Amino acid sequence: MIEARQLTKRYGEKTAVDRLDFDVKPGMVTGFLGPNGAGKSTTMRMIIGLDAPTGGSVTVNGRRYARHTAPLQEVGALLEARSIHPGRTAFDHLMVLAHTHGIPRSRVDEMIELTGLQSVARKRAGSFSLGMGQRLGIAAALLGDPATVMLDEPVNGLDPEGVLWIRNLLAGLAAEGRTVFVSSHLMTEVALVAEHLIIVGRGRLLADTTVHDLVREAGGDTVVVATADPARLRAALAGPGVEITGRAGSEELRVTGLPARQIGLVAAEHGIALFELTPKHVSLEEAFMDLTRDAVEYHGGVTSGTAA
Ligand SMILES: Nc1ncnc2c1ncn2[C@@H]1O[C@H](COP(=O)(O)OP(=O)(O)OP(=O)(O)O)[C@@H](O)[C@H]1O
């Protein structure tokens, strides 16, 4: 469990992280989303004590990272800036980490296998492709068998097979009951694996929600229905979880909580003619862009408003 409370980081005039409150719970993958520069990496660095908060706090399993006696066994992290000695082999890199943290060699072998690095384990990390480097970073993050796993943009540089591998790996780690926190600036990528989403823009919390709720709130499961007898159709469709809106005197209704197919069947059963039956599709990407539009414009420098 990761708990951020009023977490804030300022660099001079710039507020990179602005009073963030969120929990990352165990047993599921939580996606950490936001456009470039939203403050994701800064937040992750504060979680593992690489940056000190200017205000507020963040804890992992109830304690600040530095207070854990065996931090590598508590939180495994892959952050964007890699700190792998280029002259060292993948195997040696993991062995050094294992030695200094009281982790047995057998675990190093297991992690090399898990990340598919067997054939390059004895090669220098400096010669690795971005994808291989990511795999080595993940092997290092999982070395201590941590209950909390945190990965910053883990699919960067991976080929489609690698992307699929990461997805399965994250789902597996969550299924084992671990806390899995993974950042991305791509909604579609995160939605495939994350159940919960924390969305930030300009350092602020924009949403703390589930993939399902985000789509629903954006109007993603609304069906537009036009009928000659809206009052009778309303009555026929009414039920738990069903919401129907429509202007008085208008033929058009907007229905949430029922699929178009079901609405069509109910209308037919009651002999009510329909003129239109249109499911409104809102993609996750659209929902995300709607939510973060202001934050992106700010960073794109295209705002025409007066500066404070
Ligand atoms: N060491 C630093 N000094 C000054 N400003 C910084 C520093 N680190 C980050 N920032 C600024 O803080 C803001 C948040 O940056 P951060 O890297 O955390 O965002 P991000 O969401 O991870 O973005 P990206 O998706 O591009 O990696 C940015 O505007 C960035 O320029």
ipTM given for this complex: 0.95
The ligand 1 atom at the shortest distance from the C-alpha of residue 12 is 4
DSSP 121: T
Please report the pLDDT score of residue 299 as a whole number. Answer: 47
Question: Which pLDDT does position 36 carry in this prediction?
Answer: 87
CA of 16 to the centre of ligand 1 (A): 6
Residue to probe by mutation, ligand 1, list 9, 14, 190, 296, most atoms within 8 Å of CB:
14
Atom of ligand 1 nearest to the CA of 43: 18
Structure tokens at 204: 């602020």
Span 263-276, pLDDT tens digits:
999 999 999 999 99
For residue 248, what pLDDT is reported? 85
* Residue having the nearest C-alpha atom to atom 31 of ligand 1: 37
pLDDT value, residue 296: 67
Mean pLDDT by 10 residues, the chain (308 residues): 97 95 97 92 95 96 86 86 78 93 94 93 87 91 95 86 91 96 87 91 93 77 92 95 90 92 96 94 79 65 41
CA distance 235 to 239: 9
Instruction: Identify the pLDDT of residue 81.
Output: 56
Are 198 and 31 spatial neighbours (Cβ–Cβ below 8 Å)?
A: yes
Order of strands, sheet of 252-256, starting from the edge strand that comes earlier in the sequence: 243-245, 252-256, 222-227, 274-280
Question: What residues are in contact with ligand 1 under a 6 Å CB criterion?
Answer: 11, 14, 16, 34, 36-42, 185
User: Which pair of structure tokens corresponds to residue 233?
Assistant: 């159709």
Per-residue pLDDT of 195-225, as tens digits, reads 999 999 999 999 999 987 887 777 777 899 9
Instruction: For residue 299, give the ligand 1 atom closest to its CA.
Output: 29
Sheet holding 55-60, edge to edge: 14-24, 2-11, 55-60
Distance, first Cα to last Cα, the chain: 38
Q: What is the pLDDT of residue 73?
A: 86
Ligand 1 atom with minimal separation from the 203 CA: 14
Q: What pLDDT score does 302 carry?
A: 41
Length in residues, the chain:
308
Q: Which pLDDT does position 174 carry in this prediction?
A: 96
Q: Which residue puts its alpha carbon closest to atom 14 of ligand 1? A: 39
pLDDT at 307: 40
In this structure, which residue's CA is closest to atom 1 in ligand 1? 11
